[in-house]
C-alpha cells in the first residue's frame, strides 16, 4: 500500500513572480551536468529529431551510392558484397533509425505542449529511450563502418542470416543491435501511452485530442504489442548463430518461415507506426493553413485506430509467395484490401478540409497537401499488392521498391518536413525562410517523383529488387538512369532543407508565440516555450482552444491564463483517462544522469555479448544495476499526491 498525501492545489492567475518561481523549479542544471542529465522533453525531443535527421542523411548517402551503381547496366562501381551491405544498411537506417525515431522526436517535443502538460509522464524514461536509441544506432553503425553491416536486407530472412551462410559478425551486430534498439522503442511507447491517458490538461477529454496524439498513441500501443515479436526473433537468431539452437534450422526441426511470421507480425504494424503519427501531423497542420477545423475529426480519429487494428491482420501479405495455403492467403488478401477504407477516410477528410477552407500557401502547407497525392499513389500500389495473384507477379520487383518509398518518403518524410516548417518557430523562436522553403519543396517533390514514379514501370518490366547490377538487354537502362537523376535532385532538395535550418537558426525572422494563428495549446505559450511549458495548467473546453471566439462552437470557453498553479514543487497535473478530470498532482523528477548511465551499462552488456567476453557483460550488468538502484532509490519529494476532489 502506498501512503497517500492530500493537497488541494491552488487555482490562480499567471503572474511574473509565479513564473519566476516556476523557472527556478524547472530550470535544469547548466553545463555538462545539465547536458547529460536533462529530462526536459523539449531538449530530448530536439535531440531525437537531430539524431534522426543525421541518420536520414547517412541513409540518403547510402542510397545515392547505390543509385550511382545502378545508373547504368553492368556497372562495377561497387562489389556485390558492398552493394548488399549498403542496401541492407540503408533499409535498417531509414526504417529503424530514422522513420520511427523522427516521429518520437516530434511527439516528444510537441505532445506535452499539445495536451497542456509540463512534461511527459516519465521524464527519466524519456531520457533513457533517447540514450538507448543513440547507443543502439552507434552500435549498429560501428558494425557497418567495420565492414560488418547487415547484409541480408532489413527483413533479414533465414537461412541466409544463419551462420552457415553468413559466418561474419554482420548478423550478430544486426541481431543484438535490434534487440538493444527494441528497449528504446518499448520504453518510449510505454511513456507515450501513459502520457496520453494521464497527463492531459483538465477538460481535454479523449474526443478533444489532436489527431497527431491519436496517431502516436495508436502507434505506441501497437509497438508495445509487436516489438516483443521482433526482439524475440532477433534473439532466437542470435542463439541459433552462437549457441547452436535450432529455431530456424530445418535439419533439426526448425522452420525458416517462423522467422518470417515473427518478423512480419512486427513488421507490418511497424509500417503503420511510422506513418500514423505523420498522418496526424497532416491532420493537425493542414487545417491551420486552410483556416478551418479538420473535416470529420471523429472519423479520422477512429480511422487511425481502425487502420492499426486491420494492420495486425495483414502481415501475411508479405508472404504470399511462400507456399501457404490459398484459403489462408485469401483472408489476408481481403484484410489488406479492406484497409483501404480507413485510409480513404483520411484522404477525403483532408481534401474536404482544403476544398472548404481558405488555403494559405506556405512551405508547410505545400509539404502537407502534396503528401495527400503521394499517400494516394503509395496507397493504390499497396492495394495492387494486396491481391494475391497480382502480388505473385509484383512482389520482389522494383514495383514494391517504388511502393514502399511512396509510403515512407511520401507519408513520413514529407509530413516531417512540413512539420519542421510548422513547428520550427515554436522550437527555436525563429521562422524558417519561406523563399528557400519553396526551392526546398519543389526540388524535393520533383526529385522524389522523378526517381520513384518511373520505378513502378521498372518493376512492371520485371526488374527484381536487391540486384547489384543488371544486363542491358532487359529494357531497364533508361528508367534506371532517370531514377538515379531523380534521386540526386531529391538529395539536393534535402540539402536545401539543411541549409535553410542552419541559416534560419542564426538569422531567421523572430517568431511570435503563434505565428500561424493556429488553434492548439502549444501556440499559447512563448516561442520557444519556458522549461515549465505552461505557467498555469490550462483548462480546455474544446478541440480548438485558440479559435473558440471565432468558431463559436461552445458556450463554455477554455481558460488559458487562469488555472492550476502547481508551483510548490516540480509538478504537473494527472487527469483521468477519458474525461481528463484532474485526479492527482504528479511530482516530476529533477535532472539525473541515471538514464545515461543505464544506457551506457546496457551498451557495455551488448558489446560483451557481441564479443562473447563475459567479464565485459558482467561489468555492464553491474553498471546497469547501479543505475537502476540510483534511479529507483525512494525519494520523499517524488511521492504522488491525490488532489481532494473539490
Partner 1 sequence: MSATPLSYLDSAGARADTILPLTWFTIAVSVIVCVVIAILLWIAVARGTSSHDVDIRRVPVDRSGNGLRWINIGLAISAVPLLVTLVWTMVALAHAAGPPSNPALTIDVTPHQWWWGVRYNGKQPSDIFDTANEIHIPTGVPVLVRLHGADVIHSFWVPKLTGKTDAIPGQINLSWMQATAPGRYSGECTEYCGAQHAHMGLEVVAESPADFEHWRAGQLEAAPAATSASLQHGQQVVEYRCGLCHQVRGTRAGAQSGPDLTHLMSRRTLAAGVLPNNAGTVAAWIQTAQELKPGTLMPDQFLTSQELLDVQAYLETLK
Under rule CB under 8 A, which residues in 543-582 are in contact with partner 1? 547, 550-551, 553
Residue 45 touching partner 1 (CB under 8 A): no
Least Å distance between CB 521 and partner 1?
Answer: 16
> Under a CB-based contact definition with an 8 Å cutoff, are residues 56 and 97 in contact?
no
Binding of partner 1 at residue 509 (CB under 8 A)? no
**Element containing residue 12 per DSSP (H, E):** strand 11-13
> Of 4-12, 49-57, 187-195, 391-399, which part binds partner 1 (CB under 8 A)?
391-399
* Number of chain residues interacting with partner 1 (CB under 8 A): 95
328 binds partner 1 (CB under 8 A): no
Q: How many CA atoms lie within 13 A of 432 on its CB side?
A: 27
Q: What is the DSSP string of 355-405?
A: HHS-----HHHHHHHHHHHHHHHHHHHHHHHHSHHHHHHHTTBHHHHHHHH
Nearest to 441 by CA among 349, 361, 355, 507: 361
The correct pick among 10, 23, 165, 581 for binding partner 1 (CB under 8 A) is 165
Measured from the CB of residue 70, what is the shortest distance to partner 1 in angstroms? 11
Binding flag, residue 626, partner 1 (CB under 8 A): no
**Which one of the spans 95-103, 270-278, 310-318, 324-332 is the region binding partner 1 (CB under 8 A)?**
324-332
Q: Which is nearest to 294 in space by CA: 303, 312, 282?
A: 282
**Which of 169, 206, 239, 384: binder of partner 1 (CB under 8 A)?**
384
Rounded least distance, CB 441 to partner 1, Å: 13
Among 473, 507, 555, 615, contact with partner 1 (rule: CB under 8 A):
473
Among 65, 142, 461, 619, the residue binding partner 1 under the rule CB under 8 A is 461
> Per rule CB under 8 A, is residue 245 in the interface with partner 1?
no
| 3-state per-residue secondary structure call for 257-268 | HHHHHHHHHHHH
Q: How far is residue 354's CA from residue 286's CA, in Å, rounded to a whole number?
A: 8
Site for partner 1 in 70-99 (CB under 8 A): 79-81, 84
Residue 446 near partner 1 by CB under 8 A:
no
* Cα–Cα distance for residue pair 270/612, rounded to 1 Å: 31
Q: What are phi and psi of 275, to 5 degrees?
A: -120, -30
| Min CB(346)–partner 1 separation in Å | 9
- Segment near partner 1 (CB under 8 A), from 45-53, 189-197, 395-403, 481-489? 395-403
Could you say whether residue 357 binds partner 1 (CB under 8 A)? yes
Q: Does 313 bind partner 1 (CB under 8 A)?
A: no
Residue 329 backbone zone (phi > 0: left; psi -120 to 50: alpha; other: beta) = alpha
Partner residues linked to 587 by β-bridges = 571
The CA distance from 376 to 371, in Å, is 8
Range 1-40, binding partner 1 (CB under 8 A):
none
Binding span for partner 1 by CB under 8 A among 441-449, 461-469, 562-570, 618-626: 461-469
By the rule CB under 8 A, 292 interacts with partner 1: yes
CB atoms within 10 A of CB 573: 25
Give the binding range for partner 1 (CB under 8 A) out of 113-121, 182-190, 373-381, 443-451: 373-381
42 closest CA partner among 417, 525, 533: 533
Helices 211-243 and 256-273: crossing angle in degrees, nearest 10, is 160
197-205, 306-314, 457-465, 609-617 -> range binding partner 1 (CB under 8 A): 457-465
Sequence-ordered list of residues with C-beta below 8 angstroms from that of 269, at least 6 positions apart, any chain? 222, 223, 225, 226, 308, 311, 312, 315
613 binds partner 1 (CB under 8 A): no
Does 463 participate in binding partner 1 (rule CB under 8 A)? yes
Amino acid at each position: 500500500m502506498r501512503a497517500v498525501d492530500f493537497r488541494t492545489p491552488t487555482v490562480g492567475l499567471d503572474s511574473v513572480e509565479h513564473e519566476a518561481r516556476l523557472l527556478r523549479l524547472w530550470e535544469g542544471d547548466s553545463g555538462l551536468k545539465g547536458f547529460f542529465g536533462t529530462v526536459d522533453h523539449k531538449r530530448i525531443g530536439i535531440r531525437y529529431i537531430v539524431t534522426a535527421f543525421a541518420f536520414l542523411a547517412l541513409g540518403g548517402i547510402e542510397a545515392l551510392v547505390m543509385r550511382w551503381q545502378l545508373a547504368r547496366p553492368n556497372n562495377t562501381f561497387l562489389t556485390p558484397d558492398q552493394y548488399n551491405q549498403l542496401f541492407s544498411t540503408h533499409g535498417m537506417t531509414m526504417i529503424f533509425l530514422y522513420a520511427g525515431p523522427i516521429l518520437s522526436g516530434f511527439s516528444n517535443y510537441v505532445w506535452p505542449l499539445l495536451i497542456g502538460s509540463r512534461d511527459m509522464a516519465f521524464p527519466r524514461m524519456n531520457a533513457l529511450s533517447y540514450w538507448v536509441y543513440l547507443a543502439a544506432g552507434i552500435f549498429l553503425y560501428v558494425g557497418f563502418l567495420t565492414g560488418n553491416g547487415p547484409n541480408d536486407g532489413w527483413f533479414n530472412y533465414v537461412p541466409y542470416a544463419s551462420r552457415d551462410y553468413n559466418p561474419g559478425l554482420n548478423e550478430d551486430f544486426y541481431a543484438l543491435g535490434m534487440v538493444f534498439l527494441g528497449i528504446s522503442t518499448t520504453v518510449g511507447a510505454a511513456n507515450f501511452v501513459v502520457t496520453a491517458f494521464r497527463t492531459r490538461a483538465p477538460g481535454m477529454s479523449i474526443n478533444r485530442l489532436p489527431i497527431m496524439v491519436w496517431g502516436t498513441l495508436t502507434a505506441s500501443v501497437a509497438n508495445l504489442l509487436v516489438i516483443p515479436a521482433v526482439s524475440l526473433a532477433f534473439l532466437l537468431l542470435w542463439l541459433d548463430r552462437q549457441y547452436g539452437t535450432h529455431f530456424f534450422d530445418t535439419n533439426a526441426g526448425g522452420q525458416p518461415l517462423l522467422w518470417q511470421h515473427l518478423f512480419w507480425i512486427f513488421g507490418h504494424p511497424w509500417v503503420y507506426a511510422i506513418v500514423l503519427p505523420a498522418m496526424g501531423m497532416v491532420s493537425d497542420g493542414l487545417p491551420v493553413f486552410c483556416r478551418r477545423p479538420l473535416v470529420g475529426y471523429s472519423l479520422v480519429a477512429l480511422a487511425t485506430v481502425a487502420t492499426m487494428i486491420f494492420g495486425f491482420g495483414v502481415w501475411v501479405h508479405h508472404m504470399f509467395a511462400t507456399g501457404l495455403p490459398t484459403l489462408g492467403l485469401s483472408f489476408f488478401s481481403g484484410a489488406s484490401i479492406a484497409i483501404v477504407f480507413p485510409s480513404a477516410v483520411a484522404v477525403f477528410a483532408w481534401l474536404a478540409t482544403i476544398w472548404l477552407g481558405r488555403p494559405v500557401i506556405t512551405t508547410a502547407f505545400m509539404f502537407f497537401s502534396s503528401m495527400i497525392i503521394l499517400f494516394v499513389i503509395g496507397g493504390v500500389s499497396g492495394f495492387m499488392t494486396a491481391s494475391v495473384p497480382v502480388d505473385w507477379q509484383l512482389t520482389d520487383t522494383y514495383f514494391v521498391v517504388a511502393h514502399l518509398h511512396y509510403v515512407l518518403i511520401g507519408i513520413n518524410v514529407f509530413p516531417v518536413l512540413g512539420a519542421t516548417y510548422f513547428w520550427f518557430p515554436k522550437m527555436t523562436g525563429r521562422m524558417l525562410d519561406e523563399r528557400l522553403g519553396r526551392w526546398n519543396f519543389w526540388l524535393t517533390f520533383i526529385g522524389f517523383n522523378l526517381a520513384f514514379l518511373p520505378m513502378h514501370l521498372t518493376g512492371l518490366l520485371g526488374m527484381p529488387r536487391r540486384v547489384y547490377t543488371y544486363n542491358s538487354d532487359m529494357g531497364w537502362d533508361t528508367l534506371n538512369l532517370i531514377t538515379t537523376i531523380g534521386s540526386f535532385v531529391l538529395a539536393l532538395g534535402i540539402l536545401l532543407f539543411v541549409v535553410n535550418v542552419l541559416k534560419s537558426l542564426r538569422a531567421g525572422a523572430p517568431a511570435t508565440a503563434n505565428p500561424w494563428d493556429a488553434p492548439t495549446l502549444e501556440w499559447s505559450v512563448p516561442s520557444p516555450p519556458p522549461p515549465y511549458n505552461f505557467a498555469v495548467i490550462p483548462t480546455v473546453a474544446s478541440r480548438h482552444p485558440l479559435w473558440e471566439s471565432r468558431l463559436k462552437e461552445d458556450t463554455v470557453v477554455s481558460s488559458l491564463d487562469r488555472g492550476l498553479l502547481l508551483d510548490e514543487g516540480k509538478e504537473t497535473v494527472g487527469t483521468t483517462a477519458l474525461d481528463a478530470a484532474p485526479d492527482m498532482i504528479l511530482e516530476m523528477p529533477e535532472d539525473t544522469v541515471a538514464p545515461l548511465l543505464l544506457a551506457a551499462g546496457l551498451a557495455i552488456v551488448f558489446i560483451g555479448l557481441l564479443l562473447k567476453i563475459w567479464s565485459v557483460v558482467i561489468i555492464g550488468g553491474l553498471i546497469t544495476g547501479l543505475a537502476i538502484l540510483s534511479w529507483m532509490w525512494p525519494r520523499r519529494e517524488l511521492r504522488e499526491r491525490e488532489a481532494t476532489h473539490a
